[in-house]
Amino acid sequence: MNVLERNNVKLSGPEEGEAMVFAHGFGCDQNMWRFVAPEFEKDYRVVVFDHVGAGQSDASAYSRGKYDSLQGYTNDVLEICRELGLTRVIFVGHSVSALIGMLAAIQEPDRFEKLILVGPSPCYIDDGDYVGGFSREDIEGLLESLDSNYLGWSSAMAPVIMGNPDRPELGAELTNSFCRTNPEIARHFARVTFLSDHRADLSLLKTRSLILQCSEDAIAPQAVGEYVHRQIPNSELVLLKATGHCPNLSAPEETSAAIKAFL
């Protein structure tokens, strides 16, 4: 199977430019970067794609065995980079894709020059002194609700994830994005995402990293961003004024400006 077709890879910007790869979070697709990625097309070779099961990816490539951990998605990212011959990659990952990018950079450190981690969370479940933002019961309840009524869960949860209740059109867009995702694949991806624990991997990352932490983020609270910053040796933490979990949609100008300042 063609890797670029599998993940609906789209390229823009100068062919000789340094590569910037933008990866979307759970329930989303590459469209979530439409306000941010074009800001970099003048100077960078911009790469956007859809994880298998999302957007216009080839859902026939999905296998529960392969995608039963984030490693399956990590392998896809590395395959895309190899197929395009990308080196010195600047990887911009939102939410769970921040962790996918981190795992890729740990696996092939020479391929990645910088990581921008937008709303990362290595573990969503509180554990001793670690604050993930959710109890185990919270996560199990969330997953049970998602299993029993995916569309209902989407319409209830998307506005909470997005934040910005004064801008209901943003929550509606995320709801629609969730509803376009294959429900079976989304249920499995949610389980893999929300039950994963990659805290032990953070200290293995040597790539220079920027952590973009939103204010009032219901999914990845500020304590999580601060924890990630403490654990990743060569990292910077920027607290955005943007609220919610999707600053690429709710505050693209502030998000782009923070990335440009880091680069």
pLDDT in tens, 84-106: 999 999 999 999 999 999 999 99
Summarize pLDDT for 157-178 with one digit per residue, the tens: 888 889 888 898 988 888 888 8
Quick one: DSSP state of residue 127? B
Residue 41 or 183, more confident: 41
**96 to 12, 26, 92: CA distances (angstroms):** 24, 7, 11
Say what the pLDDT of residue 39 is.
97
Residues contacting 149, CB < 8 A, separation 6+: none
CB 174 within 8 A of CB 159: yes
Say what the pLDDT of residue 136 is.
95
Say what the pLDDT of residue 151 is.
85
**145 to 125, 154, 168, 191, 258: CA distances (angstroms):** 17, 10, 22, 12, 36
Residue 253, pLDDT > 80, answer yes
Taking residues 44-65, what's their average pLDDT? 95
Say what the pLDDT of residue 120 is.
97
Q: Is 95 a catalytic residue?
A: yes
Residues contacting 101, CB < 8 A, separation 6+: 21, 23, 77, 91, 92, 93, 112, 115, 117
Report the C-alpha gap between 98 and 122 in whole angstroms: 9
Q: Is 245 a catalytic residue?
A: yes
Taking residues 207-211, what's their average pLDDT? 98
Q: Which one from 209, 245, 250, 256 is the annotated catalytic residue?
A: 245
Burial-class residue 187 by CB neighbours within 10 Å (0-12, 13-18, 19+): middle
Q: Which one from 217, 229, 250, 256 is the annotated catalytic residue?
A: 217
Report the C-alpha gap between 56 and 117 in whole angstroms: 24
Across the chain, mean pLDDT equals: 95
Taking residues 34-56, what's their average pLDDT? 96
* Predicted TM-score of the model (pTM): 0.96
| CATH code of the domain occupying 3-122+199-262 | 3.40.50.1820
Q: Which one from 95, 235, 250, 256 is the annotated catalytic residue?
A: 95
